[in-house]
Amino acid sequence: MSTLIFIPIVLVIAGIVFMIYVNKKHKTAKGEIDLNFERTKYDQYKQELLANDFSQLKHWMKGKAIDAFTSASVPQSTSSKVQEIVTDGLKNAALSTIGVKLRRVETDCFWVLSGNDLHFFTTNTVGELDEHIVFDNFRIEDAKLEYGGVLKSQLGVYSKSSEEYLPKTHVITFYIDGSPLSLEIHDRLNYVTAPEDMLNLKKQLETRAKYQVVGERFLDILQNKVPHLKVA
């Protein structure tokens, strides 16, 4: 019998050992992060992320204050509705003006709360600013907020064990001249592992924690600003 038969067996065993090793390391690294303690560093993390990973937001806001920020998305239902608006013509001019800016659903989007206004940014496929929509205080006061569950567009991409990393969403629905327009607020900033961090689990988890700490505070700050905006 050839010794070649042992090669796949060795590879399978090595793979299992590696997975056990990675899982153990993951558990250890995760155990080192106390999310409650991390939450106390919100201000520090917010400034850090605005200075580095999300510095584009400062540029897009053109010097206006950034009170809070997080990731966002355009629900498929909104995108489909926008398509109807475009196809059927301008029945609601204000909604059409906003709606045509929301046709892209798969690229990164952001919310920024600045003073009395909510700024919604969409990006193109290379992360550059695509559209900037401002919802003023009067639109926010009329809006409705409800829990939207785990971000549906990302379900299925992750394994069950990774579900904890999926963003949970709230859906905010604005009424533009009586017509509803829904957008999603994520409870964390969207994290994509940088190639140089692929093997650095500790750094990945630390960054994820920062993104969560900063992103999850967005809704609280918004609700404090607009108390009427309670979850339906």
Partner 1 sequence: MGFFSKILNSFQRLRLNNHNAIRGYLLDHLLVGSMYAEQQSAYLNSYETGLNRSNIVTLAEEYWGIYNREQAIEVLQNLHDRNQDENMEIVYRAFEDSENYVDILKSNLPKEEGFFEHYIDLFRQLNNTVPELMEQNIITDFSQIKKTKDSGWNYGRGAFLARCCYDLGYLSENELKEYLEKCHTDLKKYCTTWKEYTTSYIFGRAVWGGSNNSGMIQIANDLLTNDNSPLKNKTYL
Q: Name the residues that contact partner 1, by CB under 8 A.
A: 64, 93-94, 97, 115-117, 134, 136-138
Q: Supply the minimum distance, in Å, between the C-beta of residue 56 and partner 1.
A: 19
CA distances from 162 to 177, 209, 214, 228 (A): 41, 14, 20, 34
**Half-sphere exposure of residue 37: CA atoms within 13 angstroms, side-chain side:** 5
Phi/psi at 151 (5° precision) = -55, 115
Nearer of residues 30 and 139 to partner 1, judged by Cβ? 139
CA distances from 210 to 20, 39, 43, 53, 167 (A): 26, 8, 11, 11, 14
Q: Which of 173, 170, 167 is nearest to 154 (CA)?
A: 167
Q: Supply the minimum distance, in Å, between the C-beta of residue 90 and partner 1.
A: 11
Q: Supply the minimum distance, in Å, between the C-beta of residue 74 and partner 1.
A: 20
Nearer of residues 98 and 185 to partner 1, judged by Cβ? 98
Nearer of residues 174 and 191 to partner 1, judged by Cβ? 174
Q: Supply the minimum distance, in Å, between the C-beta of residue 94 and partner 1.
A: 8
Nearer of residues 115 and 149 to partner 1, judged by Cβ? 115
Tell me if residue 110 falls in helix, strand or coil: strand
